[in-house]
Structure 1
Amino acid sequence: MTQLPARSRAVALLLAALLLCTAATGTATAASRADGTVVVGPNETITDGLSAAGGTIEIYGTVRGDVQAAGGSVVVADGATVTGDVQATGGDVTIAGSVGGNVDIASGSATVARNATVAGNLSVAAGSAVVAGTVDGDAAVGADTITLASTARVGGDFVYDGTLTRETGSEVAGDVREDPSLGDAGMGSGFSLPSWLGTAYGFLVNLLVGAVLLAAFPRFSRDVADRVAGTPLRAAGVGLLALVATPILLFVVAITVVGLPLALAGVLVYALGLWVAAVYGQYALGAWLLSYTDRTNRYLALLVGALLLALLQFVPVLDAVVGFALLVLALGALASALYARYRAAGELASA
């Protein structure tokens, strides 16, 4: 395979690093996110929909358009707003916010929480399902155990396949009827997704991407890890600066006639860049932990970091805190390392 010259390769990677920073703040368009933890913050607005894959996917803000989410855990939190449809696949799926369209869930366990409002229809295939919120349209639920809670309000029919527990106070405007064909379509008792499946998938994919990065850029990867461990305050400062400044820069570029196509192309680069930074963060964590032993194998460092991050998916608050901190550190170290390589290449070319 023909490689780019060092300077061109550094510029390309620097562009990726800058574009990926829009993930953590502000308004994004046509977002695609893949990471151990994917979070849409309370003050964040995403336009043109969201496609997300990860161990944990949490939506606290606003998504204008449809959401496609696949992960070990998927949450549309109380106070969150999705204006379009939601298609969620995971070990555990919880809808607690407002959805303007239909909701389709395939999961080990599914919950439409008390404060949830679904403007369209609800379709669920799960091992266990709880409907406690408001569904304006019809609801079709196939699961081993189904609970229609006292706070549930369904504006159309409630069709189910499985063992139904209907609590006193639940309201269904249409018919409540059992339909075994839901199970024949793959819903209900034959369907089950283990909660660890999404986490394991993200772990393996991150290992593969990390191995490619370490093999293709061994010195550069080591440099990034060294900057995270050696100058963490500097790395964090650069990372936070990038998070604040990049959305402004991209907005300025997007509003120009010539810059709009570049901004659109940048969406794809941004998704790739986010992934690269997340993997480098895991590698840096593993390398720092191994520095306290006599082992210095870079692939072992990647394995240790990725495994630790995967295990943290089962600790809801801690995984988000650690994941964000690593992302900020890795972004700063990545940007600093790329800039240093770019300057060195420039000095060599002019010599």
Structure 2
Amino acid sequence: MVSTSNERFGGPAVFVIVGLLCLSITPGVVGAQEQLTGGSVVIGPEETHKGDLEATAGDVRIEGTVDGDLTATGGTVTITGDVTGDVTATAGSVIIEGTVAGDLTATGGDVRVRESAAVDGMVRTTGGAVTVDGTVEDDTRLDGDTVRVGPTAAIGGDLTYSADEATISGDAEITGTVTETDRDELGMGPFSGASLPDVPDAVVTPLFGLYLFCANFALGAVLLVAAPRFSARVSEQGTDRPLLSGGVGLLTLLAMPFALGALFLSIIGIPLAFFATYGFVFVLWIGLVYGAFALGTWGLSAFDRGHRWSGLALGLAIVSLANALPYVGFLLVLITLFGLGAFGRALYDWRLDRGDDDAQRPPPYPALEAADE
């Protein structure tokens, strides 16, 4: 049985955790805006991302404009739009078809600078197969198992390359000198002599799902350890009346933009609005984790199991699976709304109950507690 001291600590602990982590992600508002993750990250054709962008996903596509530097990691990275700064891309396949105003550094199993591409700075690539058919205004350094510079390529500086098999078209426009060298001499780092495998999306997606599972489980572990009784209360609120919890979560999600907009209307409220915006993003993450926790414990209850850690693991496994599978991403939204509503209802109940005498308060959720003993 959990002691009453833990019970008193449970509710406030959630507020403390939320507050500390919100502060940790808001030392600079720009920093929070730069990071995008998911099964896929897409900047649409009519979209402009202001500032530097860090994207980590199974599929990263830049079809619009990134007004700043781009750092992209994924199964595939494709740039058909414009990047006004430098590009650093690491992926199984890196394809450049748009415009890069700065330098391009690309590492991948297959790296292609296609005919429509224009890079105003230097190009530096390391990969299994490297192809350049576009325009590069500065020096170009290519390292790969195979290197090909096509007839439509235009290089405004020197070309330095290293490959087991290289094809440099005589029709390519190369202003500077052309030098073939060993890979170690290109200064690509201690692992430059080893070619990178062509990593298929089928491998990258499960790895990214594992990363999401570990990140979500870490947050869930903090919540369950710091506030065990409150977390159990969230689970019971979700499983007891799931439709009500989902409705509360939806209303909260719909009401938040109006509340933030009201803060932005006043000078004093603008700083608070920024903190509230990123705080709410973190609360949505908590909602996803708590929703998975409630879903997992409900699933185990069908087999007369009530272990909270097993419930958390099962729920987050479902979340990772939904993220990896096509056409079922809406399940993540439903789980988040479900968890957000249960979280809000548990906070409301805790606020009503916190003034009650501990002796009159029955121990909540004995099934979970008994299973953990």
TM-score, normalised with respect to structure 1: 0.71
Residue 302 of structure 1 and its aligned partner are, at CA, apart by: 4.0
Task: Quickly say closer, same or farther: Cα 1:75–1:211, change in 2 above 3 A.
Answer: same
- CA distance in 2 between counterparts of 1:305 and 1:62 reads 34
Q: Does 1:206 align with 2:234?
A: no
**Range that drifts further, 252-261 or 122-131:** 252-261
Q: What 5-or-longer segments of structure 1 have no aligned partner? A: 21-26, 313-317
Structure-to-structure mapping, 1:159-238, within 5 angstroms: 159-162=160-163, 163-167=165-169, 169-180=171-182, 181-182=185-186, 185-186=189-190, 189-193=193-197, 195=199, 199=205, 201-215=207-221, 216-217=223-224, 218-219=231-232, 222=235
Q: Deviations over 1:198-250 (max 9, x none)?
A: 545533332223323444345477479869986899599659747xx63x765
Equivalent of 1:298 in 311, 315, 321: 311
**Range that drifts further, 209-218 or 59-68:** 209-218
Contact 2:107–2:126 (Cα < 8 Å) also in 1: yes
- CA distance in 1 between counterparts of 2:156 and 2:333 reads 45
Q: Does 1:52 align with 2:52?
A: no
Partner of 1:24: none
- CA distance in 2 between counterparts of 1:155 and 1:305 reads 51
Instruction: State the Cα RMSD in Å.
Output: 4.5
Q: Which has the higher contact order (CA 8 A, sep 6+)?
A: 1
Task: Quickly say closer, same or farther: Cα 1:123–1:71, change in 2 above 3 A.
Answer: same
Q: Deviations over 1:86-116 (max 9, x none)?
A: 1112222222222221111122221223322
Q: What secondary structure, in the 3-state scheme, does the structure 2 residue paired with 1:56 have?
A: strand
Contact 1:147–1:165 (Cα < 8 Å) also in 2: yes
- CA distance in 2 between counterparts of 1:228 and 1:241 reads 20
Q: Does 1:67 align with 2:73?
A: no
Identity, % of aligned positions: 28
Q: What secondary structure, in the 3-state scheme, does the structure 2 residue paired with 1:190 have?
A: coil
Q: Which of these two proteins has the greater Rg computed from alpha carbons?
A: 2
Task: Quickly say closer, same or farther: Cα 1:38–1:276, change in 2 above 3 A.
Answer: farther
Partner of 2:321: 308
Task: Quickly say closer, same or farther: Cα 1:346–1:294, change in 2 above 3 A.
Answer: closer
Contact 1:238–1:332 (Cα < 8 Å) also in 2: no
- CA distance in 2 between counterparts of 1:167 and 1:227 reads 70
Q: What secondary structure, in the 3-state scheme, does the structure 1 residue paired with 2:216 have?
A: helix
Question: For residue 182 of structure 1, what is the amino acid of its counterpart?
Answer: L
Q: What secondary structure, in the 3-state scheme, does the structure 1 residue paired with 2:176 have?
A: coil
Residue 129 of structure 1 and its aligned partner are, at CA, apart by: 1.3
Partner of 1:23: none
Task: Quickly say closer, same or farther: Cα 1:221–1:251, change in 2 above 3 A.
Answer: same
Task: Quickly say closer, same or farther: Cα 1:150–1:280, change in 2 above 3 A.
Answer: farther
- CA distance in 2 between counterparts of 1:56 and 1:283 reads 28
Structure-to-structure mapping, 1:311-350, within 5 angstroms: 312=325, 318=326, 321-323=327-329, 325-349=330-354
Aligned residue pairs total 329
Q: What 5-or-longer segments of structure 2 have no aligned partner? A: 1-5, 225-230, 357-373
- CA distance in 2 between counterparts of 1:148 and 1:275 reads 46
Q: Does 1:82 align with 2:74?
A: no
- CA distance in 2 between counterparts of 1:139 and 1:264 reads 42
Q: Deviations over 1:94-153 (max 9, x none)?
A: 222222211111222212233222221111111111222222222111111112233333
- CA distance in 1 between counterparts of 2:280 and 2:175 reads 46
Question: For residue 111 of structure 2, what is the amino acid of its counterpart?
Answer: A
Partner of 1:113: 114
Structure-to-structure mapping, 1:124-135, within 5 angstroms: 124-135=125-136
- CA distance in 2 between counterparts of 1:251 and 1:38 reads 26
Q: Deviations over 1:259-315 (max 9, x none)?
A: 454456568657756765666787789889x69x95975245246435535754xxx
